[in-house]
Structure 1
Amino acid sequence: MYTINNQDNKNVRNEGNKLKYLYIYNYSPHEQNLCEMEFRHIFHEDMQTKYYITNQDFDYSRSAYIRGKLNILYESACFDEIVNFIEQQNYCYYDFKVIYLKNEITHVPYQESIDKCKQIALPIAGSVNMHHPQTIFAITKIHEIWYFGIYQNDMNWNQHNDKPYSYSHSLALRDARAVVNIALGNDLSKTIVDPCCGVGTVVLEGLSMNAHIVGYDINKYVAYQARLNLEHYGYDPLLIQRCDMRTLKKTYDVCILDIPYGVYSPFTYQQQCELLEKTRDIAAELVLISHVPMQKELINIGYHMKDQAMIQKGSFQRYITHCL
């Protein structure tokens, strides 16, 4: 591991320190608001572009919005210096390939990008495998700086798309992962409860991130379906139980509440307020999912709102609110 330092318009590796990482984001326009909220909880600053360079080593597979991660090995304003760096390393890799990462900031003509990839590959001993590489080297140019490194883009976050039981009004997988990331931030030791978990969409996504998460649902049939979903993917089905959240005694670090709004059975505003009040007893931190803004209700029961985003599914809106 090493740090890349600017010296005379180039970056030189210093062993024993830290790598830089380039995270490449991709999201639809209607996802931008929630993506930016997730970003703030992971990196603790506002998102400026879809290309984020940092010393923070984050498990990119946790986010459905991160298209890939470049472990930066060298950077320079002069491309030839990157080639010289590679020659000095005496790299030997079998089944590797080199790609150019296009970005929206700096355009590099297609033929030039191909030529640059060939120049990168030439000093690397071993064998090239374009179709099934074991290692992917990548280069990209952002503003006036060339970046070279090892690229990771193994995306397995969508493995739960085909779970046995789901409902049309359930959170989309991408949204559910973002909600869990907002709850966790960078602290995977947090305990999370989803007390109105439905068929377990949020619980499944949390478990795939190795989060300590459990779920409850008042509906016996729905809780049973949620357990079958967990079992289908090899998780302990008993992590989801039938229970009215108003009777919960255990406490957790964070509560993710997708508040019922009466899609399949009547659910009054008063009942919604009762559930909100109960969250104060079971967790110090709340991530609320609601179909209307509930700032007034949250403030009235003593919460301090920290962040909020809005997501839309057709004409149906949801508000994601983080409170302490």
Structure 2
Amino acid sequence: MNNLPATGDFIYTFAYNDEEKDLCHLEMRSLFGRQSDTKILKTDRDIHPSRSPFVKERIRVLMEGRTLDELCDKLRNVKMGESTFKVLFVKINDLAGPHKIEYDQKRKIERDLGMIIEGELDLHQPDVFFGLVPCEGSWHFGIYEKAEPVWLRHVKKPREYSTALSTRTARAVANIAVPDPEGKRAIDPCCGIGTVLVEALSMGIDIVGRDINPLVVTGSRENIAHFGLSGEVTIGPIEEVTGSYDATIIDMPYNLYTHATPEEQLDILMNARHFTTRLVVVTIESIDHMLKQADFSVVDRCIVRKGKFSREILVCE
């Protein structure tokens, strides 16, 4: 395959239900700096598609055209050499109404583009997947990557609590707290059985865990080891945390084993202020007044619902 220069842009598509929409948008704002309401986003930010639990696929844009014909002219310069390929018309795009392209026409466009590219088509096991998608008024063509739902592997844990975050939510929370892991240190000082730790560690985030309850610390360590991950989890109260961290994730304790009173919640936040610059809190109660007392400012937020049960996720600095 000849070395085609990339444009520097990426197109991501997303999948989420109505209950997850606000969480997905908060994660988008954290990872990409802005959100899209159309389940497709064009950006210059290079985020691995498997990081987000909501990203479905990504195209690394190689070329674009204002019309499909213009794009086809550019594709004549693509020479695959010994590499086989396949072209996929991405299902999620921003064409709607009279501009929407139906299934049969999409398959025809895939075949037509495949005939233009110099090389061997392989519809079953190609060396390279190309993606085609109309977005923001132009046609885009590039390397197609399908996201792997890594978080699904972590659903079944040796130790579980019914009130723990879902793995999908936990993964999004980790991304919201540490959108750029390079050189960042994070802590989950009320880690429970380690749902957030497992997701963060699986993405290469440098994070440590801590909890006051020895039983849940044991469960957290067991869950981390079960998935072949390595992470430090210590026993002790939050007031004994030493050092400083770029990000802190706190899922406010409210289960049968460690329910925090309002006074204890405030104490947790006051202590976190001493060692972190960024705080992401998950809570089932309104704690804005506590955050203000602890000298935190809420810079973003969302509500995650599951049936009648809801959690609020607050991003604080």
Normalising by the residue count of structure 2, what TM-score does the alignment of the two structures yield?
0.90
CA distance in structure 2 between the aligned counterparts of 1:136 and 1:275, rounded to whole angstroms? 49
CA contact (8 A) 2:66 2:139 kept: yes
- Per the alignment, residue 253 of structure 1 pairs with 246
Q: CA deviation at 1:277?
A: 1.2
CA distance in structure 1 between the aligned counterparts of 2:90 and 2:258, rounded to whole angstroms? 49
* Residue number among 209, 224, 230 corresponding to 1:236 in the alignment: 230
* Residue number among 163, 167, 174 corresponding to 1:173 in the alignment: 167
CA distance in structure 2 between the aligned counterparts of 1:144 and 1:286, rounded to whole angstroms? 38
Q: Give CA deviations for 1:1-44 in whole Å, capped at 9, x if unaligned.
A: xxxxxxxxxxxxx95x7421111111111111111111111222
Alignment of 1:1-324 (within 5 A): 18-92=7-81, 94-103=83-92, 105-106=94-95, 107-142=100-135, 144-158=137-151, 159-236=153-230, 239-324=232-317
Please, what is the CA RMSD of the aligned residues? 2.1
Q: Could you say if the C-alpha distance between residues 126 and 166 of structure 1 is closer, same or farther in structure 2, counting changes exceeding 3 Å?
A: farther
User: What SS does structure 1 have at the residue aligned with 2:77?
Assistant: helix
Q: Could you say if the C-alpha distance between residues 104 and 152 of structure 1 is closer, same or farther in structure 2, counting changes exceeding 3 Å?
A: closer
Aligned residues: 310
Aligned AA (2:114): A
Q: Could you say if the C-alpha distance between residues 315 and 58 of structure 1 is closer, same or farther in structure 2, counting changes exceeding 3 Å?
A: same
CA contact (8 A) 1:93 1:135 kept: no
Report the structure, 1 or 2, having the larger strand content: 1
Answer with 86-95 or 114-123: which moved more: 86-95
Q: Give CA deviations for 1:208-265 in whole Å, capped at 9, x if unaligned.
A: 111110101111121111111111122225x112222222223212110111124335
Q: What is the percentage of aligned positions where both structures have the same residue?
A: 30
Q: CA deviation at 1:295?
A: 0.6
CA contact (8 A) 1:94 1:128 kept: no
Aligned AA (1:27): Y
CA distance in structure 1 between the aligned counterparts of 2:250 and 2:266, rounded to whole angstroms? 12
CA contact (8 A) 2:53 2:149 kept: no
CA contact (8 A) 1:103 1:142 kept: no
CA contact (8 A) 2:253 2:259 kept: no
CA contact (8 A) 1:98 1:120 kept: yes
Unaligned runs of 5+ in 2: none
Q: Give CA deviations for 1:38-87 in whole Å, capped at 9, x if unaligned.
A: 11112223434311112222222211111111111221133233222222
Q: CA deviation at 1:96?
A: 2.4
Q: Give CA deviations for 1:124-182 in whole Å, capped at 9, x if unaligned.
A: 34443333333211212236422211110141422212222222211111211111111
CA contact (8 A) 2:93 2:133 kept: no
Aligned AA (1:87): R
CA distance in structure 2 between the aligned counterparts of 1:287 and 1:144, rounded to whole angstroms? 36
User: What SS does structure 1 have at the residue aligned with 2:187?
Assistant: strand
Unaligned runs of 5+ in 1: 1-13
